Each structure stands twice: as C-alpha cells, then as structure tokens.
Structure 1
Amino acid sequence: MAILAVLMPVLMLVVMLALGRYEELMLPIPAEEPEAATATPHQVAEQAEDREMFEART
C-alpha cells in the first residue's frame, strides 16, 4: 500500500507531462501578433496618435 502511495503521484506526473508534449505536437503554433499583420493603415495611424499622446503626458 505504501508503494502505491509513492508511485501513484509519480505516474500521474508522467502522464500529465506526456499529455502536455502530445498537445504541443498536435496543436498548430500560433502566429505572433496576428492583429498587427492585418491592421489597416487607419488603425496604424490611430495607434501612432495614441502613442504620441501618451508619450506627451509622461
């Protein structure tokens, strides 16, 4: 019974790590900042204006 109490958490940890690796392999890698790639020129100009206003305050 004591052996089961020691081995069960270790086995559960191994299973969780294996599932994490499996998930990383199966799911696609997300693109970095997808909204930046699809931003319109108007959105970019608004962001620049907002950044300038923020920098002027500080």
Structure 2
Amino acid sequence: LALPIRVDDIFDSTYHHYDWGPVLILSYECTPLATEIRNVEVSEHRWVRPRELPHFELLPAD
C-alpha cells in the first residue's frame, strides 16, 4: 500500500506446527501516518474494523 504506519498492539496470533518446524504469525493493529494509499502489487484494498473481520474469507495460516 506504500503507506507509512505506526505499529501498535498485537491484534491476533496464529500458530501452526509443520513436520519441518513451527510457524507463528502475529497480526498487529496499526495507525496510518499518511492519507494517500496506493495499490502496490494488489488489485484492491479496504479498511475494516476488527469486529468486521469475521465477515471476510481469510486464508488459513497453514
């Protein structure tokens, strides 16, 4: 998005153990530090509130 941000608190974490080792994915709440957003290597983006995330189909952390 080419958007500078301030990283705030951890929002969620996901852990998965593969045969070759563990993977820990941390998701953070962030605050934008600018207003201009560009679609860089993505076709679209959308801002949503954390409470809206269950309405989106997200890829599994596997």
> Taking structure 1 as the reference length, what is the TM-score of the superposition?
0.20
Structure 1 or 2, whichever has the larger Rg, is 1
Quick one: higher RCO (CA 8 Å, sep 6+), 1 or 2? 2
Question: Greater helix share, 1 or 2?
Answer: 1
> Taking structure 2 as the reference length, what is the TM-score of the superposition?
0.19
